[in-house]
Protein backbone atom coordinates (compact mmCIF):
# COMPACT_ATOMS: atom_id res chain seq x y z
CA UNK A 1 0.00 0.00 0.00
CA UNK A 2 2.79 2.42 0.93
CA UNK A 3 4.66 1.63 -2.29
CA UNK A 4 1.54 2.22 -4.39
CA UNK A 5 0.83 5.49 -2.59
CA UNK A 6 4.45 6.60 -3.05
CA UNK A 7 4.56 5.81 -6.77
CA UNK A 8 1.25 7.52 -7.52
CA UNK A 9 2.36 10.49 -5.41
CA UNK A 10 5.56 10.81 -7.46
CA UNK A 11 3.56 10.66 -10.70
CA UNK A 12 1.25 13.39 -9.36
CA UNK A 13 4.21 15.62 -8.53
CA UNK A 14 5.71 15.10 -12.01
CA UNK A 15 2.41 16.01 -13.70
CA UNK A 16 2.06 19.09 -11.48
CA UNK A 17 5.64 20.15 -12.24
CA UNK A 18 5.21 19.80 -16.01
CA UNK A 19 1.84 21.59 -16.11
CA UNK A 20 2.78 24.46 -13.81
CA UNK A 21 6.24 25.06 -15.26
CA UNK A 22 4.81 25.07 -18.79
CA UNK A 23 1.83 27.22 -17.80
CA UNK A 24 -0.42 28.75 -20.47
CA UNK A 25 -2.79 26.35 -22.28
CA UNK A 26 -1.17 23.25 -20.76
CA UNK A 27 -1.95 24.37 -17.21
CA UNK A 28 -5.37 25.71 -18.21
CA UNK A 29 -6.54 22.45 -19.81
CA UNK A 30 -4.94 20.33 -17.08
CA UNK A 31 -6.87 22.21 -14.40
CA UNK A 32 -10.05 22.09 -16.46
CA UNK A 33 -9.73 18.32 -16.78
CA UNK A 34 -8.96 17.88 -13.08
CA UNK A 35 -11.94 20.10 -12.24
CA UNK A 36 -14.39 18.08 -14.34
CA UNK A 37 -13.16 14.81 -12.80
CA UNK A 38 -13.38 16.30 -9.30
CA UNK A 39 -16.88 17.58 -10.02
CA UNK A 40 -17.91 14.12 -11.20
CA UNK A 41 -16.69 12.66 -7.90
CA UNK A 42 -18.57 15.30 -5.93
CA UNK A 43 -21.74 14.87 -8.00
CA UNK A 44 -21.75 11.14 -7.27
CA UNK A 45 -21.25 11.82 -3.56
CA UNK A 46 -23.92 14.54 -3.40
CA UNK A 47 -26.55 12.65 -5.40
CA UNK A 48 -26.54 14.90 -8.49
CA UNK A 49 -25.67 11.76 -10.44
CA UNK A 50 -27.55 8.63 -9.41
CA UNK A 51 -27.62 6.31 -12.41
CA UNK A 52 -25.53 7.38 -15.39
CA UNK A 53 -25.12 10.86 -16.83
CA UNK A 54 -28.03 13.29 -16.66
CA UNK A 55 -28.65 16.73 -18.13
CA UNK A 56 -28.13 18.56 -14.82
CA UNK A 57 -24.70 16.99 -14.40
CA UNK A 58 -23.71 17.78 -18.00
CA UNK A 59 -24.78 21.42 -17.61
CA UNK A 60 -22.66 21.57 -14.44
CA UNK A 61 -19.61 20.49 -16.45
CA UNK A 62 -20.55 22.98 -19.16
CA UNK A 63 -20.66 25.71 -16.52
CA UNK A 64 -17.12 24.81 -15.45
CA UNK A 65 -15.85 24.90 -19.05
CA UNK A 66 -17.56 28.25 -19.66
CA UNK A 67 -15.98 29.63 -16.50
CA UNK A 68 -12.47 28.52 -17.56
CA UNK A 69 -12.91 30.07 -21.01
CA UNK A 70 -14.12 33.37 -19.55
CA UNK A 71 -11.40 33.32 -16.89
CA UNK A 72 -8.74 32.81 -19.53
CA UNK A 73 -9.94 35.88 -21.43
CA UNK A 74 -10.18 38.14 -18.37
CA UNK A 75 -10.97 36.89 -14.86
CA UNK A 76 -11.62 40.32 -13.33
CA UNK A 77 -14.03 41.30 -16.09
CA UNK A 78 -15.76 38.02 -16.96
CA UNK A 79 -15.29 35.67 -13.98
CA UNK A 80 -18.42 36.73 -12.12
CA UNK A 81 -20.38 36.77 -15.38
CA UNK A 82 -19.48 33.11 -15.96
CA UNK A 83 -20.58 32.12 -12.45
CA UNK A 84 -23.93 33.88 -12.84
CA UNK A 85 -24.41 32.33 -16.28
CA UNK A 86 -23.84 28.90 -14.72
CA UNK A 87 -26.64 29.55 -12.20
CA UNK A 88 -29.00 30.60 -14.99
CA UNK A 89 -28.20 27.50 -17.07
CA UNK A 90 -28.76 25.19 -14.09
CA UNK A 91 -32.06 26.91 -13.29
CA UNK A 92 -33.14 26.44 -16.91
CA UNK A 93 -32.67 22.70 -16.41
CA UNK A 94 -34.46 22.80 -13.05
CA UNK A 95 -37.48 24.67 -14.45
CA UNK A 96 -37.92 22.99 -17.82
CA UNK A 97 -37.22 19.46 -16.56
CA UNK A 98 -39.29 19.86 -13.40
CA UNK A 99 -39.85 17.74 -11.31
CA UNK A 100 -36.99 15.51 -12.54
CA UNK A 101 -34.46 17.26 -10.27
CA UNK A 102 -34.77 18.58 -6.73
CA UNK A 103 -33.61 21.96 -5.47
CA UNK A 104 -30.93 20.18 -3.41
CA UNK A 105 -29.51 18.58 -6.56
CA UNK A 106 -29.43 21.92 -8.39
CA UNK A 107 -27.68 23.63 -5.47
CA UNK A 108 -25.20 20.76 -5.25
CA UNK A 109 -24.51 21.05 -8.98
CA UNK A 110 -23.72 24.75 -8.62
CA UNK A 111 -21.69 24.12 -5.47
CA UNK A 112 -19.55 21.72 -7.51
CA UNK A 113 -18.71 24.45 -10.02
CA UNK A 114 -17.61 26.88 -7.30
CA UNK A 115 -16.01 24.41 -4.88
CA UNK A 116 -13.99 22.51 -7.47
CA UNK A 117 -13.66 24.39 -10.77
CA UNK A 118 -13.55 28.00 -9.61
CA UNK A 119 -11.35 27.44 -6.56
CA UNK A 120 -8.86 25.23 -8.42
CA UNK A 121 -8.63 27.83 -11.18
CA UNK A 122 -6.72 30.07 -8.77
CA UNK A 123 -3.69 27.87 -9.39
CA UNK A 124 -3.73 29.21 -12.95
CA UNK A 125 -4.45 32.77 -11.79
CA UNK A 126 -1.59 32.63 -9.28
CA UNK A 127 0.74 31.28 -11.96
CA UNK A 128 -0.10 34.33 -14.08
CA UNK A 129 0.74 36.87 -11.36
CA UNK A 130 4.02 38.80 -11.60
CA UNK A 131 6.66 36.30 -10.41
CA UNK A 132 3.85 33.75 -10.49
CA UNK A 133 6.21 31.02 -11.67
CA UNK A 134 7.68 31.17 -8.15
CA UNK A 135 4.65 32.22 -6.09
CA UNK A 136 2.40 29.43 -7.40
CA UNK A 137 4.45 26.78 -5.56
CA UNK A 138 3.44 28.35 -2.23
CA UNK A 139 0.02 26.77 -2.82
CA UNK A 140 1.49 23.29 -2.61
CA UNK A 141 4.05 24.10 0.07
CA UNK A 142 1.30 25.36 2.36
CA UNK A 143 -1.12 22.51 1.65
CA UNK A 144 0.90 19.34 1.09
CA UNK A 145 3.76 20.66 3.26
CA UNK A 146 1.37 21.31 6.13
CA UNK A 147 -0.21 17.89 5.70
CA UNK A 148 3.17 16.12 5.87
CA UNK A 149 4.49 18.14 8.81
CA UNK A 150 1.23 17.83 10.73
CA UNK A 151 1.24 14.06 10.24
CA UNK A 152 4.83 13.70 11.48
CA UNK A 153 4.40 15.94 14.52
CA UNK A 154 1.04 14.38 15.35
CA UNK A 155 2.51 10.89 15.25
CA UNK A 156 5.39 11.93 17.53
CA UNK A 157 3.76 14.13 20.18
CA UNK A 158 0.07 14.47 19.30
CA UNK A 159 -2.16 14.18 22.39
CA UNK A 160 -4.99 16.72 22.18
CA UNK A 161 -7.64 15.99 19.55
CA UNK A 162 -8.38 18.87 17.19
CA UNK A 163 -11.68 17.58 15.76
CA UNK A 164 -12.45 14.36 17.67
CA UNK A 165 -15.77 13.62 15.97
CA UNK A 166 -14.84 14.58 12.42
CA UNK A 167 -11.20 13.45 12.30
CA UNK A 168 -10.08 11.70 15.50
CA UNK A 169 -6.50 11.15 14.31
CA UNK A 170 -5.75 14.87 13.90
CA UNK A 171 -4.25 16.62 16.92
CA UNK A 172 -3.72 20.21 18.03
CA UNK A 173 0.00 19.54 18.25
CA UNK A 174 -0.01 18.21 14.71
CA UNK A 175 -1.88 21.30 13.49
CA UNK A 176 0.67 23.62 15.12
CA UNK A 177 3.49 21.55 13.65
CA UNK A 178 1.86 21.74 10.24
CA UNK A 179 1.57 25.53 10.34
CA UNK A 180 5.12 26.03 11.63
CA UNK A 181 6.46 23.45 9.18
CA UNK A 182 4.74 25.14 6.23
CA UNK A 183 6.07 28.53 7.35
CA UNK A 184 9.56 27.02 7.61
CA UNK A 185 9.25 25.57 4.12
CA UNK A 186 8.26 29.04 2.92
CA UNK A 187 11.48 30.45 4.39
CA UNK A 188 13.60 27.71 2.78
CA UNK A 189 11.85 28.21 -0.54
CA UNK A 190 12.39 31.99 -0.35
CA UNK A 191 16.09 31.46 0.31
CA UNK A 192 16.35 29.09 -2.64
CA UNK A 193 14.51 31.42 -5.05
CA UNK A 194 15.75 34.76 -3.68
CA UNK A 195 12.25 35.56 -2.46
CA UNK A 196 11.07 37.49 0.60
CA UNK A 197 11.55 35.19 3.61
CA UNK A 198 9.17 36.84 6.10
CA UNK A 199 6.46 37.35 3.50
CA UNK A 200 6.71 33.78 2.19
CA UNK A 201 6.62 32.45 5.77
CA UNK A 202 3.45 34.46 6.53
CA UNK A 203 1.76 33.36 3.30
CA UNK A 204 2.60 29.68 3.85
CA UNK A 205 1.62 29.80 7.53
CA UNK A 206 -1.79 31.35 6.84
CA UNK A 207 -2.24 29.08 3.84
CA UNK A 208 -1.51 26.06 6.05
CA UNK A 209 -4.25 27.09 8.49
CA UNK A 210 -6.72 27.41 5.64
CA UNK A 211 -5.59 24.11 4.11
CA UNK A 212 -6.60 22.27 7.29
CA UNK A 213 -10.10 23.70 6.98
CA UNK A 214 -10.21 22.43 3.40
CA UNK A 215 -9.11 18.97 4.48
CA UNK A 216 -11.70 18.81 7.27
CA UNK A 217 -14.44 20.21 5.02
CA UNK A 218 -13.88 17.42 2.50
CA UNK A 219 -13.95 14.88 5.35
CA UNK A 220 -17.20 16.35 6.64
CA UNK A 221 -18.86 15.95 3.25
CA UNK A 222 -17.71 12.33 3.03
CA UNK A 223 -19.01 11.58 6.52
CA UNK A 224 -22.35 13.21 5.73
CA UNK A 225 -22.66 11.09 2.61
CA UNK A 226 -21.35 7.88 4.21
CA UNK A 227 -18.38 7.31 1.89
CA UNK A 228 -14.70 6.62 2.59
CA UNK A 229 -13.15 8.08 -0.56
CA UNK A 230 -14.44 10.26 -3.38
CA UNK A 231 -12.99 7.95 -6.01
CA UNK A 232 -10.24 5.50 -6.99
CA UNK A 233 -8.49 7.41 -9.75
CA UNK A 234 -5.20 7.84 -7.84
CA UNK A 235 -3.98 4.50 -6.40
CA UNK A 236 -3.32 4.76 -2.68
CA UNK A 237 -4.81 8.25 -2.46
CA UNK A 238 -8.42 7.89 -3.61
CA UNK A 239 -9.98 10.38 -5.98
CA UNK A 240 -9.03 13.84 -7.18
CA UNK A 241 -10.89 15.45 -4.27
CA UNK A 242 -9.15 13.19 -1.76
CA UNK A 243 -5.75 14.47 -2.93
CA UNK A 244 -6.67 18.07 -3.73
CA UNK A 245 -9.06 18.77 -0.84
CA UNK A 246 -6.63 21.16 0.89
CA UNK A 247 -5.29 22.64 -2.38
CA UNK A 248 -8.86 23.65 -3.29
CA UNK A 249 -8.81 26.00 -0.30
CA UNK A 250 -5.20 27.15 -0.42
CA UNK A 251 -5.23 28.10 -4.13
CA UNK A 252 -7.53 31.15 -3.77
CA UNK A 253 -6.05 31.94 -0.33
CA UNK A 254 -2.47 32.11 -1.69
CA UNK A 255 -3.63 34.15 -4.69
CA UNK A 256 -5.15 36.87 -2.53
CA UNK A 257 -2.45 36.67 0.14
CA UNK A 258 0.22 37.09 -2.53
CA UNK A 259 -1.49 40.15 -3.94
CA UNK A 260 -1.91 41.59 -0.46
CA UNK A 261 1.38 40.69 1.24
CA UNK A 262 3.67 40.85 -1.81
CA UNK A 263 1.74 43.76 -3.35
CA UNK A 264 1.61 42.20 -6.81
Model pLDDT for residues 150-189, shown as the tens digit of each residue: 888 888 887 878 888 888 788 888 899 999 999 999 999 9
- The residues that bridge with 222 in the sheet, in sequence order, are none
CA 92 vs CA 60, 73, 172, 257: distances in Å: 12, 25, 46, 37
State yes or no: pLDDT of 43 exceeds 70.
yes
What confidence category does residue 85 fall into, taking pLDDT thresholds of 50, 70 and 90?
Answer: very high
Separation of alpha carbons 81 and 189, rounded Å: 36
Judge contact between 106 and 56, C-beta under 8 A: yes
Please tell me the predicted confidence (pLDDT) of residue 58.
96
What confidence category does residue 67 fall into, taking pLDDT thresholds of 50, 70 and 90?
Answer: very high
Judge contact between 179 and 213, C-beta under 8 A: no
Total-model pTM = 0.92
Amino acid sequence: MFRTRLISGIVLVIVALLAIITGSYVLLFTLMGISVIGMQELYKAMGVRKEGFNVLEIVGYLGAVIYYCFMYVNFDRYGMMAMILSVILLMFVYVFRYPEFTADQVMSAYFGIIYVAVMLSFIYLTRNLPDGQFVVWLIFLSSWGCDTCAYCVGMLIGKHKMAPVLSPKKSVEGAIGGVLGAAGLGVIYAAATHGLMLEYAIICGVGALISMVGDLAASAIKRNRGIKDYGRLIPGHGGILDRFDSVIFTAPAIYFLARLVLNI
